[in-house]
Structure 1
Amino acid sequence: MTARELRTDDLAIPLGPDGLTPEWLAAALSGPVPAAVDSVAVTPIGTGQTGATYRLTVGYAAPCDRPRSFVAKLPAQDGSVRAGVTLGYLAEVEFYSAVAHRTSVPVPRCHYSAINEDGSEYVLLLDDLDPAIQGDQLAGCDEETARRAVTALAGLHAPSWCDSSWLELPVGSMPKPGDSAAAGGLGQVVEMVAPAILERFGPFLDDTDRDTLRLALELMGPWLLTDTGRYALMHGDYRLDNLLLDADRLFVVDWQTLGVGLPARDLAYFIGTCLDPELRADAEQRLVAAYHAELLRHGVPGYDLKTCLADYRLGMLQGPLIIALGAAFATTTDRGDDLFRVMLRRSCRAIRELGTLELIRAAAAPA
């Protein structure tokens, strides 16, 4: 079953894990050969910051070659579903149902998807990729893992590189290039939440990082309006917690921040927030070169490494942007706060060492 053939029919969307019954799963999996589901054991997995994820262990009434387990994604179950979050649910279902098959990025197969009109109720039924395990954002990663991640990222960016058809993407959390109204609106959101972000995380940062964060938030509007002329599909929140890895495989999950923008924003966000600063400073040119080489292998024309490195430097404000939006809209958890603090320290240092704020000021200055 291809992505465009995913069924989004009148089967009731489960409102919680109790709705993931054998009867529901049998209907969701039905096709030329009926799925005789006898039992389903539902177990919560994941961090649950912007939704609820469950492993379904399935028993069948008769021997068959269907998967013995799946992963189901539902909205957050704590009553925290808000407008910014529902936009993410709409984006993720759109990705699996109409976008994934047009990319080369490794993702889990989607067996069923459904969402209501306003995005407050949805379900995704995905492959269970066990024994692949979730990356650990707090621990960070080594250079080899980072290389695997950035080369996989090229499989998202290259197939959509400067393809204007993606500017019509019906949903997305990131402003499209040239959309000054959307960019300005998102900049205003960041401006509104900036005092709360500084109050919440400032005490955990040293003076230098706190000043960097304040300046980055102040320049978010001009940064969002900067248009290099280069754009592609973006994951938006491309980091270790949104990767599943084992010795031989890497899969990208959690597509709620899908959008269109400067591709190197994803690259900068990953390298800037997932690597300890000393490793990042040592490895970043090699990692950017590996990403760039993979873009060329996928057929991206007219993009030299020098320009890619400049885009990488410019894209580093993706860290403060996603942290500010996440702190404003995601469910608050102890791990989430720890994660934001570590990411801010890594990101702020990268912004300083790469001269990102100076680049933004230069790009925003009148000709």
Structure 2
Amino acid sequence: MIHTSTSPVTDGAASAAPLVRTIEELTPEWMTAALAKERPGIRVTGVDIDRVIWGSATKAFAKLTFDGESHGIPERVCIKGGFDERSRAFGLGAAYELEGCFYRDLAPNLRAEVPACFYAEAEPEQGIVILEDLTARGAEFGEATNLWSIDTVAETLEVQASWHGPLWGSTKGRYAWLPVGVEAARQAFQVMLSPEQFHPLISRDEVPELSAGLRDDERVRRAFRALWEHDDNAVHTINHGDAHFAQLYRIPGRAPAFLDWQTACLAPWSHDVAYFIGSALSIEDRRTHERDLLAHYLDALEAHGGPRIAPDEAWADYRRHTLHGFAWMCVPTVMQPSETVAVMAHRYAAAIEDHDPFALLFRD
């Protein structure tokens, strides 16, 4: 158990809760002030944190106790935010801020399941959300080392199409905080792809032996610049932005859904789709099924109000966006477990070698 804190709390906690930066500051006083924003009169008297998952953002799982009514807040919650300075050092503050904005403003209007959210707020370089603990609904979570069936991958692509289609052609307009492209990843890549970081990161045991072209840091940086320029000028829809398999959960009897919306952005459809397919299948299964899965997604996109994209155009854009998977060659193990980095790096490296996005990006 990380900590147990119990204390009396004054009624209502009228002032808004400041966004704390450490697990230790998630006290009954802070929880009361946060939850009272929408539920005046709520009193949290105990916050028992019994599990913490450290990663790009930190998830603290807590049992709450209340003085009187819980106002619909469950006993078990997940508190997520930027609580680890080691991850913040990679420029991820914008991601924490973005997820707070997503759950506060966009999630209620998204045509897809997301975890129930009881508090969401953001400020520069920080965002905190208080979510349901999905294990209470029997959720199964995607694990990179334990993949689901081809049919489930197809069903997940339908889920992506269910928000890509209705939000096709989106611009910043209504959600001024929503970036074009994955802003946090682009900032982090300024560090990860630098010559000082690039070579030590790709030389780790978790990363497969890369071809000479993928070991050329200047070539990789130039390709990402070309991809970002392409994406900035494309037709946009709402993207998850980091839609790999380990972001999934599924409730029994329901379609898969995505967690971790700290990279939500405006981007081409192919950003989410190529990145997801590259992570969700073994190398062999991807090679066998990716064209059929892409065709399945395109049909679903059109059914959900999106355009009919020509197969050759879609295939080229899919190939171009396999480059996003290169991020896993550089993901520090402080952000993801070593075994997850290893299987993802191998899958994405194979996809990049198979599809040669460099040929398209340097020709564009």
State the distance in 1 between where 2:103 and 2:115 align.
9
Provide closer, same or farther for how the CA distance between residues 78 and 89 of structure 1 changes in structure 2, counting only shifts above 3 A.
closer
State the distance in 1 between where 2:261 and 2:358 align.
28
Provide closer, same or farther for how the CA distance between residues 258 and 194 of structure 1 changes in structure 2, counting only shifts above 3 A.
farther
Q: What is residue 236 of structure 1 aligned with on the other side?
A: 241
Q: What is the CA distance between 1:41 and its match in structure 2?
A: 2.0
Return the TM-score normalized by structure 1. Answer: 0.80
Q: What is the CA distance between 1:264 and its match in structure 2?
A: 0.7
State the distance in 2 between where 1:196 and 1:33 align.
48
Q: What is residue 227 of structure 2 aligned with on the other side?
A: 223
Q: What is the CA distance between 1:344 and its match in structure 2?
A: 2.3
Give the letter aligned to residue 288 of structure 2.
Answer: D
Aligned residues: 343
> Any conservation in 2 of the 1:289–1:305 contact (CA below 8 Å)?
yes
State the distance in 2 between where 1:302 and 1:144 align.
22
State the distance in 2 between where 1:137 and 1:251 align.
16
Give the letter aligned to residue 223 of structure 1.
Answer: L
**1:1-367 equivalence runs, <5 A:** 10-30=16-36, 31=38, 34-46=41-53, 48-62=54-68, 65-78=72-85, 80-82=87-89, 84-116=91-123, 118-120=124-126, 122-130=127-135, 131-165=138-172, 169-172=176-179, 174=181, 189=190, 192-193=193-194, 196-202=197-203, 204=205, 207=209, 209=211, 211-212=213-214, 214=216, 216-227=220-231, 229-249=234-254, 250-320=256-326, 322-323=327-328, 326-327=331-332, 332-333=333-334, 336-363=337-364
SS in 1 for 2:64: strand
> Any conservation in 1 of the 2:86–2:334 contact (CA below 8 Å)?
no
SS in 2 for 1:124: strand
State the distance in 2 between where 1:97 and 1:203 align.
38
Provide closer, same or farther for how the CA distance between residues 256 and 222 of structure 1 changes in structure 2, counting only shifts above 3 A.
same
Query: Which sections of structure 2, spanning at least 5 residues, go unmatched?
Result: 1-13
Give the letter aligned to residue 61 of structure 2.
Answer: R
> Any conservation in 1 of the 2:16–2:34 contact (CA below 8 Å)?
no
Q: What is the CA distance between 1:103 and its match in structure 2?
A: 2.3
SS in 2 for 1:164: coil
Deviation per CA, 1:241-282: give whole Å up to 9, x if none: 222224333331212222222221111111112321001111
State the distance in 1 between where 2:19 and 2:189 align.
34
> Any conservation in 1 of the 2:56–2:335 contact (CA below 8 Å)?
no
> Any conservation in 2 of the 1:194–1:324 contact (CA below 8 Å)?
no
Query: Which sections of structure 1, spanning at least 5 residues, go unmatched?
Result: 1-7, 177-181
Provide closer, same or farther for how the CA distance between residues 209 and 278 of structure 1 changes in structure 2, counting only shifts above 3 A.
farther
> Any conservation in 2 of the 1:91–1:171 contact (CA below 8 Å)?
yes
Identity, in percent, stands at: 22
State the distance in 1 between where 2:28 and 2:241 align.
35
Give the letter aligned to residue 227 of structure 2.
Answer: W
> Any conservation in 2 of the 1:44–1:52 contact (CA below 8 Å)?
no
Deviation per CA, 1:320-365: give whole Å up to 9, x if none: 1x336644xxxx43954443332222112112223422222332xx
Provide closer, same or farther for how the CA distance between residues 361 and 17 of structure 1 changes in structure 2, counting only shifts above 3 A.
closer
Give the letter aligned to residue 28 of structure 2.
Answer: P
State the distance in 2 between where 1:168 and 1:27 align.
26
Question: Larger % of helix: which?
Answer: 1
Q: What is the CA distance between 1:95 and its match in structure 2?
A: 1.0
State the distance in 1 between where 2:226 and 2:153 align.
29
Give the letter aligned to residue 236 of structure 1.
Answer: G
Deviation per CA, 1:277-298: give whole Å up to 9, x if none: 0011112122212222221121
